[in-house]
Amino acid sequence: MPNKSLHTVWHRATITRQRREQKNAHKSVVLWFTGLSGSGKSTLAHTVEEQLFLSGLSTFVLDGDNVRHGLCNDLGFSDTDRKENIRRISETAKLLLEAGVITLTAFISPFKAERATARNLMPNGDFIEIYCFCPLPVCERRDVKGLYKKARLGEIKDFTGISSPYEEPENPELIINTSQFTLEESAQLVISLLRDRNILSAVE
């Protein structure tokens, strides 16, 4: 989106991301959980955050429903609004990355192009895409919010997986079949990936 603020100049802070990471004794990163409604994105993101937080790490979850109560409460679910929703979240996640925080985002984020835009905002290696794969019938059986039922009845328009497409990630850093792995197993897969990438290590 073009910058309409023509008379602004970027202010370079003296407290850098590197200094914040050194203080936190771990690196910052963006964990981008994507998948259908009911695939377990939010539950997994919060479970991972709980484990990281209890280990003394600085964390924050950007949850799809929560964000739409504030930052994105003016947006609907048309393709255009979905794109703007992800743009705002991406920019917010980038700020948290600079703040030295391990940021976990849980959004359907159905379009490849918007997920690619989010990735391209972050320095190389700082965006980790986690695809919570779950077959549509399983997601529908879970349907704790009753959304799929309403979508099937035509009461909800532009519902991903029913009346709006979901474009599967082609090369995510991690794929978790949430219909086969337990929540604890899934969380350990994410944390193991962070360890393998030295995200949880003290910053020199």
Exposed e or buried b for every residue in 105-119, given b needs 16+ CB within 10 A?
bbbbbbbeebbeebb
CATH number of the domain at 17-196, please? Answer: 3.40.50.300
Mean pLDDT by 10 residues, the chain (204 residues): 58 82 94 96 97 95 78 79 87 95 94 94 95 96 90 92 94 97 98 95 62
Total-model pTM: 0.89
| Domain edges within the chain | 17-196
Catalytic residue among 28, 58, 90, 109: 109
Characterise 109 by phi-psi region: left (phi > 0), alpha (psi -120 to 50), beta (else).
left
Instruction: Based on the residue annotation, tell me whether 5 is a catalytic residue of this protein.
Output: no
Cα–Cα distance, 159 to 138 (Å, whole number): 16
Output the pLDDT for position 194: 96
- Total residue count of the chain as it appears in this document: 204
Output the pLDDT for position 5: 60
pLDDT tens per residue across span 130-165: 999 999 999 999 988 899 999 999 999 889 999 999
